[in-house]
Amino acid sequence: MAHRALHIPVIFLTSTYSFSALFLSVFLAVAALETVNGDNVFSASQTATAPVAVARDLRYLLYDVNPPEGFNLRRDVYIRMASLVKTLRKEGHDWVLVLPPWGRLYHWQSPNIHQIRIPWGAFFSLTSLQANVPVIEYEEFVAENGGPFIDQVLVLQNYAEGWTDGKWEEKVDERPCIEKLMYSKDKQGYYRGWFWGYEETRARNVTCISAQGHASIMAPVLQRNITAISVMLDRAETLLHDHYAGKDYWDTRRSMVFAKHLRIIGDDFRAKYLNSTDDRDHTIYSEDWTRMKAKPGSAKGGSYLGVHLRRKDFIWGHREDVPSLKGAVKKMRSLMKKHKLDKVFVATDADDEELKELKRLLPDMVRYEPSAEDLELFKDGGVAIIDQWICAHARFFIGTSVSTFSFRIHEEREILGFDPKTTYNRFCGDNEKECEQPTHWKIVY
């Protein structure tokens, strides 16, 4: 599940390992171990079937995330993987990041729509992503690679023993798998697994790696210990950001431009129901993120309150800091009054029962409710983006504590040039004593 480590201050992640020590530990561990579930990583590239990369050949980094993790946490993991690929490329190696198709997400519960094997182009502008780091869709990888085979899967895990002596130390070692593997060997000796719903995909080898540290901790392992052409890091959320909210983080984040068809739907909705346009609200957007540098405070935003009200699993998962519906509506009303806003746009994952109650308490709220055709077309992920886009353009925004859905809205507003005071706000639990507000992360250009 999502862990707060995401937002651990960078200073906390100060590395205490040296690269030579890392190599030695990886080497010794690898030499000593015969993994329980897969071949030894060193031997992986030497099997008859696995092609061996020659120096400077193109290599592919694939990844996947723990199944229960949601859409916006996954967007965060993308930033970490992009950073790792940048590190590999800085060292002169031709790595390409393969975008893991979207699907089977726990929160995407709309019935009767096909929600697996969704390419990134359905949600994001690929040309924008590519202007940051070389990326390809999974199906392009299959075509380029000559088939649905991944040479090496590394299943990332923590260390069974936890932190030694209570001291944080960055390290990575090949270790026996702690949890039961989600891969099984078929008769031909290949590994089957989820692989984003591509049943024909196989892995040639699967190995567990204990990793504790930032994403680029994997660079030497990938570059020097493994010569396979395609390597997939499973449970990639185990790795932390190289430098949370630094320039590289923001470059990647800024490159995650929403797909144009979704932005258009959001813009049309703003114009039609919220009287909000970019010209009037000073939220001019440049398609080319490398040229987008709005002055902080320059965006005015539409004359409405934008709300992200996370419910469902958050109601019991965050009892302390998530308000009751009554409490949330009281806060919305007071914000509307304070900021002289006569409209409120609510993005929420509330279930039908809660929605009914919310409508009763706040009959004048505005929501984006897709038609069946639009839902089929945009999927739950596209609807989430449209909700986020509309919240991002509000004059004042309030979100939900520790929700990455709200965090991504904060970032979108930062990119658009809103005054941080109008962005970094969250609801407080009804009985929360110290209601700390979200941290302002300033863009580093």
Amino acid letter for position 214: H
Minimum Å gap between C-beta 404 and ligand GFB is 3
- Closest CB to ligand GFB among 310 and 413? 310
Distant-in-sequence, close-in-space partners of 90: CB < 8 Å, separation ≥ 6: none
Minimum Å gap between C-beta 306 and ligand GFB is 11
- Closest CB to ligand GFB among 301 and 382? 382
- Closest CB to ligand GFB among 69 and 173? 69
Angle between helices 71-90 and 372-392 (to 10 degrees): 70
Minimum Å gap between C-beta 379 and ligand GFB is 10
How do beta strands 191-192 and 184-185 pair?
antiparallel
DSSP string computed for 260-314 = HHHHHHHHHHHHHHH---HHHHT----SSGGG--PPTT----EEEEEEEE--THH
- Closest CB to ligand GFB among 217 and 307? 307
- For residue 67, how many other CB atoms are within 10 A of its CB? 11
Decide if 290 contacts 131 (C-beta within 8 A): yes
- Closest CB to ligand GFB among 30 and 358? 358
How do beta strands 152-157 and 206-212 pair?
parallel
Minimum Å gap between C-beta 69 and ligand GFB is 4
- Closest CB to ligand GFB among 108 and 249? 108
Minimum Å gap between C-beta 359 and ligand GFB is 15
Q: Which residue is nearest to ligand GFB (CB)?
A: 70
Minimum Å gap between C-beta 336 and ligand GFB is 19
- Burial zone of 179 (CB within 10 Å; 0-12 exposed, 13-18 middle, 19+ buried): exposed
Amino acid letter for position 344: V
Q: Which of 254, 270, 205 is nearest to 234 (CA)?
A: 205
Decide if 341 contacts 396 (C-beta within 8 A): yes
Decide if 355 contacts 378 (C-beta within 8 A): no
- Burial zone of 32 (CB within 10 Å; 0-12 exposed, 13-18 middle, 19+ buried): exposed
Instruction: For the chain, report the end-to-end CA distance as a whole number of angstroms.
Output: 31
Cα-Cα-Cα-Cα torsion 307, 313, 314, 317, nearest 10 degrees, comes to 180
d(CA 189, CA 185): 6
Cα-Cα-Cα-Cα torsion 86, 124, 110, 193, nearest 10 degrees, comes to -30
Minimum Å gap between C-beta 237 and ligand GFB is 9
Angle between helices 71-90 and 404-416 (to 10 degrees): 60
d(CA 232, CA 219): 13
- Closest CB to ligand GFB among 139 and 357? 357
- Closest CB to ligand GFB among 335 and 355? 355
Minimum Å gap between C-beta 55 and ligand GFB is 39
Q: Where on the chain is the footprint of ligand GFB (CB under 6 A)?
A: 1-2, 68-73, 107-108, 308, 310, 313, 317, 347-349, 380, 383-384, 387, 403-405
69, 174, 411, 412: the active-site residue: 69
Whether 140 sits among the annotated catalytic residues: the reply is no
Secondary structure class of 440 (helix, strand, coil): coil
- Would you please indicate which residues are annotated as catalytic (active-site) residues? 69
